[in-house]
Amino acid sequence: MKSLKDRILKDGMALNETVLKVDSFLNHGVDAQLMYEVGTEFKNYFMDHGVTKIFTIESSGIAPTVMTAIQMDLPMVTLKKQASKVLKDDVYQTTVHSFTKATDYELTLSKKYISNEDKVLIIDDFLANGEAALGAIRLVEEAGAQVAGIGIVIEKSFQPGRQLLMDKGYEVYSLARINKLGKGIIEFVEE
């Protein structure tokens, strides 16, 4: 997606070989118009996949997921990473390791927001090692539902996430695939 890649080059900051800071438009400050375009891309790609619900993991994936859900006229569900006093019973949970934060967290989905008839599109802001996506997949499949596909805003293609998900049979569609990062270096996969 050209406008996303242009924005990454303009405002993204590669801090080192693995960290790309895009907080000015994706996950702290949010460029709503760009997120609308992201939603359009995901809608166009996944419109014939039989999707019934769209899931994301709090909180950075919310903006692109909302825009996709609006355009596809589908319900959106946010998987929770934080412990909740309200969400205690009737939930699916799985442990996910965050390489970025070097910690584990419990990913939680209330059973009332999924049925075994759902075909779920999972959207996230980044794909690196694939741990977050695999956690979301575990929750969807534990409920007896199907994963219709995985939409990623920015993929770090030099890390194993994409291959891991594809080897397990999941369709991954990424809008910007990064081949190389380094201090001041951002290179995209040639497509």
Give the torsion through C-alpha atoms of 98, 55, 142, 149, to 10 deg.
-90
DSSP string, the chain: -HHHHHHHHHH-EE-SSS-EE-IIIIISS--HHHHHHHHHHHHHHHTTTT--EEEEETTTTHHHHHHHHHHHT--EEEEB-S--SS--SSEEEEEEEETTTTEEEEEEEEGGG--TT-EEEEEEEEESSSHHHHHHHHHHHHTT-EEEEEEEEEEETTSSHHHHHHHTT--EEEEEEEEEEETTEEEEPP-
- Asked if residue 130 belongs to a known ligand binding site, the reply is yes
According to the annotation, is 44 in a ligand binding site?
Answer: no
Q: Which amino acid is at 91?
A: V
Query: In this structure, is the dihedral angle defined by the CA atoms of residues 171, 177, 179 and 184, taken in order, positive or negative?
Result: negative
Check the annotation: does 20 bind a ligand.
yes
To the question of whether residue 63 is assigned a binding role by annotation, the answer is: no
**Does the annotation flag 131 for ligand binding?**
yes
Annotated binding-site residue? 27: yes
Binding site for xanthine: residue ranges?
20, 27, 156
Binding annotation for 5-phospho-alpha-D-ribose 1-diphosphate: 128-132
Known binding site: residues? 20, 27, 128-132, 156
